[in-house]
Each structure stands twice: as structure tokens, then as C-alpha cells.
Structure 1
């Protein structure tokens, strides 16, 4: 029976085909490996009534957890598009520790299929992402099961430190395989990805480890009584809401178009950094950057293309500064960078070099965009940069520092744009920024 044209069209329009060839290749290899290992597990499977019931219990618990927390999870997926925290781990890892490979994979597939229809699909996540995530979990579960088998099975968990070591080894295997596979996918899709892009932020890693530990304790208690599964729901739901709060807080401080800090968030952190630098007598510098002739991009290609250019420029700025430098968007096409701890002996020269690297990198940008007339590449971009060292004088404010850097930015603009201007030592105020006003003198009448 011939395949209908409508079906062929829908398959060719899957989001996965828009990915680079190297990404499709990695996804295909990883998923094929998972299918082979799952096939082997099912061929060797010898079911027992107890194992089947436990698999149904864990799958049902995972589904109930999703149903109870559907609103929270949908909010998390919409707010934290690149969230690395998956609290379903509490069920999938417990299944990996307690069930034979075939039933563990069936439990994981059940949990993630339900997640797709209830959480990921309504949040408009591509199916291939959900499939790959489930695949990494399946492979991580198989790795953890092998560790459990090698260390003597669940009977060894009651053996004091030896049991802790066995459970810890299985936890490490599960986490390592899962994180490394996700990091591989991110690395091939984003060659210039940072460590945080690959593995997530430290607090995300901490939450995932906490979830794994909770799953390990669940598995341990289930060897005593299956009723202990009820004790997991309260802590996992509380943890889920805590993660949502953190992600909402992060979203509130992050500019949606560029991923940089918002002006308010940058300003708050800059105040703290200035106070710290003053106490420690350490160097601190600020750059203000403005994309030249950005209005032409919006007027010629539209605001969607302009947003793509802003995101590309933001990535260029981040690529040329250190991980602990604060990069923010001040609105429109203006960016700001706070650079702490520059080498004191050559701080101004180092600031000049950083600004110049950013300027050059922006001139080399080629930004692919989609327009009503088809795809095109926007190039010939340039940026003007002004900078200054932050004086240590008491009372110096962020606003005063920005004003000084902004003055240099306008000098760069006036010189023809696509230029860098850094305030010299003689141009940086050294007196107190907020001198007390002199006491008013009595007026002297002209007649006296």
C-alpha cells in the first residue's frame, strides 16, 4: 500500500531534519545503540510476577507525579527552555536499580511517553528532543543496572559502607552516562558551547544529584516495603516547586532575546561588585557597547531578523570575555560589560584589548536569517565601544561609572563608529564622587 502524500509531507517537515547533519548522525547512533541494547534485554528477559508488579507501581507513580505537577512542569518547560533538571529521575533511576533491564526500559518508556503528551508537547518541545532525552535515560539506566549486577545486586545494600559504595557507584554510572550523552548532543549542535551549556549550572547539577539520592533512598526502602513509595511524593513535589521558583527567578533576570542579564539585574550585581572592589582595592572596569546602524537592519529585514542579529552580537560579546564577567543588555542595541580583577599593572591596556577583540569579532559576524523573500545572511555589522576603569573613590555609583563609559562610547561614535575609546587615567575622577557641599556663607550686601 503506497504511503499517502500527506503522510510523506508531515515526515519531511519533522523538526529534526532542520538540525545539522552531524546532530542527526549523533542522535541516530545513540538511539540505534539504545534499541540494540533494549532488544538484547528483552530477548534475555525472564519475567517474574513480583518484578512486573513493581514495574507497574513505579510507572504508575511516575504518571501520578506528572499529573499532580503538570502545571508546575509546563511552567518549567516554558520558562526554562534549556533546563537540565529532570525530576522524573526519581522514578526512572529507582526502576534502573530494582528492575531487570527489560522492565526498567518499559517503565522509562511509559513515564516519558506520558511526559511527552502531558508536558513536553503542550510546551511545544520538538519530539526528537523528548526522544533523545528518554534514550539517554534508558542508556543511563542500563549502565546503572550493570553496576548493580557487578556489585552483587540489591542484597549488598544492607552491608554498611559497602552498600553505600555500591549504591554510589550505580548513581555515578547513571549520572555520568546521562550527562555525557546530553553534553555530546549539545557539543555537536553548538561547537562553541561553554561548560554551563554542556552540563548546566552548578545549582542544576546539585538538584539533579539530590533527585538521584532521593531515588536511591526510594529504591532502598522499596526493598523493605512497597508502601514507602508514598513517602516520596511530598519531598519531590516540594523540590519541583523550588526548582520552578529558581527558574522563574532566573527568567526574571535574563533578557529573552539575548540570554544576557537584564539592565536591572546587571545594575544590582554591578553595585555589589563595585562595593567589593572598593573593599578589596581590586581593579574593576566597564564597557558600554552600541551596535552601529542597527535601525537599518530592522527597517530592511524586519524585527525578527534584528532579534537574530542581537542574539549573535550577544554571543560574540560573551565569547570574548571571561566567565565571571557580567554581560548585560541595556535595551535596544546597547550592551554593557563589567570586568573585575583585571591585571592591575596593565588594566587599561587589557580593557582596550578586550574591547578591540569584541569589535573585531562583530565585524566578522555573518548572521543567517529567514525573511519573507527567503534565507539570507546579514553581515557588514560593526559596534562602537566605550570603556573606563572604575575609580575606588568612596561614593562612586554605577550610574556615574556608566556615564563615564558612555562618554567614551559617544567619542567612538563621533570618530566614525566601529571604534574603541577607553578613558585615560587623567579622565577618570579621583576625588570623592559625593563631596559634601560647603556650608552656605552669609550673604554680604553690596552696601557693606
Structure 2
């Protein structure tokens, strides 16, 4: 049977290439629950779209607005294609929010659901085809989540105007329904995406995939612009280019924070780079001197990381580094400075922490990393759980161990060497500097 199938593929080159491309999707190397989740969302979106296409009529006026939406979306995506590529490279956690929702939410307000689905499909396929990066199955999944989210939003909008399209709000009640539809759109889309992230890495604590506030502002802005665009398409469609100027300006403004973030964060872990850590630590040290406050410095080194890298490979080693970095962020305060010092070494600055607290904090971090279980890519792309991770930590405190950043780092590094010499997986305090 398989021989006959292979022979049929040879007779149909286009189908053969498509089948080969589908077989190469990295999705098939994920765990079964991940594959089932992604396919369930995709199938639900396709089934819903098919049912709506058969049930909801489309008028000529709808097609006119649909055409304007597609043209505007194409111009927008082409104009910001380079910006989006830079944003993707500057984003470390994979949860990138763009202004795609602008066009889909505008479609939900101004055209019937079948055309909303068409806008979503065209926008995401265009993004994949012209983007030059990103896997097709991920773009299809993103399109499926927006199909389900826009359907939920339209269900809310129908409370306002069940008669048909365009759905234009009037007065405070209409505004309330419009906001409710936007919230429902965001909630459904975000829940589906974060659900995929959580299922892909079930050992990652939920707190490590929070809704980034900056990215959620982008969502709110895109939904607001989508509502404004729908109003303009309905009343004065030829003024749409005026609003496009605002869209382009907003998109360019989104890029600046990512350039700043890329300059000060380590690409593998998302922690501060050594250079930026030193700069920020210098400011904290000046503040500590001015207020006569203590200040703690921790130097951490992953035990036996080189042998792990040699055994599992550098890419898997990078996954372990990211997991440890995430745990360090979770175990420190928002104003603590956590950086990657190089290789498998990390450094943490603890403002206001003196000798009495620094050992307790360091030991708590060591214990949390010891309990960490990390899902990494194993042989044959099968997930493997890594546990029993240990870290050696050296601690130094201002002013006992020095009053300059380099002095504190040197003292903490000496304590780290003492921790390793004592058998690893332990904390050592620096020996106070002689008076």
C-alpha cells in the first residue's frame, strides 16, 4: 500500500512537494498532546469558518469594504515588514504581538464573518510568505486563534446590532459593547496562544509566561485603531490613508523599545548583558553610598555545565541556561539586577541586602534551582527532562567586602571558587576585606 502511495506522489509533483513539506514540520516532533492541541484549534477554526460561509450571505457593499481592508493590510504589512523582522529578532520569549489585530478587528466590525475569516487567512499567509521566517504551521495556528477570537467578538457585537453589518456603536451603551467585544477578542486569542505555550513546556511555571504589559498595550492600540478604521471605512472610506499614517507611526514607535532591549539584554537568556549590568550596578552603588545602605552581590556558576554541553549539545545547553535564567528572575525582586556574566555564570545585585540576609537569599536561590525540572530536546528530537541541576554561589556585601563594583565582583568570585572547591552545590560568603 505504501509503495502505491509513493508511486502516486511521484506522478503528482506538486502534491509530492506539499506532502514532503508537511512531513518536515517541526510540529510532528512535539509531544502528542501539543500536536493534538494545535490541530484541534486549527480544525475548530476551519469547521467554524465553513459553517459560517454556508450560513451568512455576503453583499456587494461588504465586498467593497473587504477589498479596501485587504489593500490596506497588504500595504501596511509590506511597509513594516523590515520592522517586524527586527522586532522578532529582538524578542526572546516568542510571544510577539503585532498590529495584525487592527485589520481583523476592523473586519469584524465592518464585514460579515466569512470575509473576516478571509482577511485573517490572507494576512497571515502574506506574513508567512513575505516574512522569510517563521514556520507555516505557527502562522496557521495564529490565524486559527484569530478566527475563533473574532467569532467570539462578533457574538458580543451582535448584542448591539443583530440586524447585520456594518456594526457601528452609538452612544455609551454601544461603546461598552465595543469595549466588551475587544476584551473578549483579546481574552480568547491570548488564552489559546498561552495554552499552547504551557502545553509545550508543562514544567515551566505559569508565572513565567505572564502577559507582558508593553505587548498588551500594543493589543489595545491595535483594537482601538481597528474600531476607528471600521468607522472610517463605513462613513468616509477615502479618508482611510489618513489613518494609515497613524498606523505606520505607531509601528515605528514600537521598534525603539526593542532596539533598547536588544542592546541591554543577553540574547540567549533575556538577562542583562555584562556591560549594562555594570552600568546599572554603578548607579545602584552610588545610591547605596548616598543613603549609607548595604548592597549584596551574588556570583553563580552552573555545576558541571561543560560536561552537560558536551553530552547534550550546545543548543540543548542554551535551553537549560534559559530555564535557569527564568528561575533567577522569578526568585528575585523586580528591582534586583540579574545578568549573565558569561558562559554559565550569572551575577545578581541585591540593593538594600546586608550580610544577615544575603546568605539566606543565596541559599533559597540554590534550592530553587536544585528543584528545577527542565524539558529539553533530547536525541531524535524527543523531549527529555533534566533535573538535579546544581549551582555554586559566592556572595559579597558592601561595604564589608568592598565599596567598588569590581571589588565586590572580585570578592564574590573568590567566594564562588571556595564554594566549588568545597564540593559545589553550596553557598560561600566572601572573606571581609582587611581594614
TM class, shorter-length: 0.7 to 0.9
Q: Cα deviation per residue 1:149-197 (whole Å; 9 max; x = unaligned)? A: 1122678846332232222122112111111111211121123145462
SS for the counterpart of 1:417 is coil
Q: Are 1:412 and 2:419 counterparts?
A: yes
Which secondary structure does the structure 1 equivalent of 2:158 belong to? helix
Where do residues 63-78 of structure 1 align in structure 2 (5 Å cutoff)? 63-78=74-89
Q: Which residue of 2 aligns with 1:90?
A: 102
Cα distance in 2 for residues equivalent to 1:39 and 1:366: 38
CA contact (8 A) 1:312 1:367 kept: no
5+ residue gaps, structure 1, are: 432-448
Mapped pair 1:112 → 2:124: yes
Residue 302 to residue 111, structure 1, CA distance change in 2 (3 Å): closer
1:168 aligns with 2:179: yes
Show the 5 A alignment for 1:324-335.
324-335=335-346
CA distance, structure 2, for counterparts of residue 282 and residue 20 of structure 1: 50
**Closer, same or farther: CA 4–23 of 1 in aligned 2, 3 Å:** same
Inter-CA distance 281–146: structure 2 relative to 1 (3 Å threshold): farther
Query: Aligned match of 2:396 in 388, 400, 404?
Result: 388
| Distance 1:376-1:21 versus aligned 2 partners, 3 A rule | closer
Is contact 1:42-1:102 (8 Å) kept? yes
> Are 1:37 and 2:48 matched, yes or no?
yes
Q: Which residue of 1 aligns with 2:191?
A: 180
Q: Deviation per CA, 1:276-299, whole angstroms, max 9, x where unpaired?
A: 555666664221012344444455
Q: Is the 8 A contact 1:308 1:369 kept in 2?
A: no
The structure-2 alpha-carbon separation of the partners of 1:383 and 1:358, relative to structure 1 and needing over 3 Å to count, comes to: same
Q: Which moved more, 1:187-196 or 1:135-144?
A: 187-196
Corresponding residue number in structure 2 for 1:52 = 63
Question: Does the 8 Å contact 1:283/1:390 carry over to 2?
Answer: yes
TM-score calculated relative to the size of structure 2: 0.84
1:140 to 134, 137, 149: 149
Residue in 1 aligned with 2:30?
Answer: 19
Query: Residues 296 and 134 from structure 1, CA distance in 2 versus in 1: closer, same or farther, beyond 3 angstroms?
Result: same
1:238-253, aligned counterparts within 5 Å? Answer: 238-253=249-264
In 2, the alpha carbon distance for the partners of 1:208 and 1:54 equals 23
The CA deviation at 1:339 is 3.3
Aligned to 2:13: none
Task: Give the SS at the match of 2:196.
Answer: helix
If asked which structure has higher relative contact order (CA below 8 Å, sep 6+), I would say 2
> In 2, Cα distance between the equivalents of 1:405 and 1:345?
13
Dislocated runs of 4+, deviation >6 Å: 374-380
Q: 1:354 aligns with which of 364, 367, 381?
A: 364
Alpha carbons of 1:19 and 1:280: their partners in 2 closer, same or farther (altered >3 Å)? farther
Check the 8 A contact 2:370/2:387 in 1, yes or no: no
Cα 1:259–1:151 change in 2 (3 A) is same
1:398 is aligned to 2:409: no
Cα 1:72–1:340 shift into 2, 3 Å: same
- Superposed counterparts of 1:150-299, under 5 Å: 150-152=159-161, 157=168, 159-191=170-202, 192-195=204-207, 197-199=209-211, 201-276=212-287, 284-298=295-309
Task: Output the CA distance in 2 between the equivalents of 1:15 and 1:68.
Answer: 30
Check whether the contact 2:396–2:412 (CA below 8 A) recurs between aligned residues. yes
Shift in alpha-carbon separation, 1:333–1:26, aligned structure 2, 3 A? same
* Aligned-residue offset at 1:17: 0.8
Distance 1:137 1:308, change over 3 A: closer
The answer for unaligned runs of 5 or more in structure 2 is 11-15
Q: CA deviation at 1:56?
A: 1.4
Stretch moving more, 201-210 or 320-329: 320-329
Residues 210 and 302 of structure 1: CA distance in aligned 2, closer, same or farther (over 3 Å): closer
Q: Look up the SS of the partner of 2:209 in the other structure.
A: helix
CA distance in structure 1 between the aligned counterparts of 2:422 and 2:385, rounded to whole angstroms: 28
Distance 2:124 2:369 in 1: 46
Does structure 2 conserve the Cα–Cα contact (< 8 Å) formed by 1:285 and 1:390?
yes
Question: Structure 2: how far apart are the matches of 1:266 and 1:371?
Answer: 38
Q: Deviations over 1:404-442 (max 9, x none)?
A: 322211221332333210247xx378x8xxxxxxxxxxx
Q: Is the 8 A contact 2:299 2:394 kept in 1?
A: yes
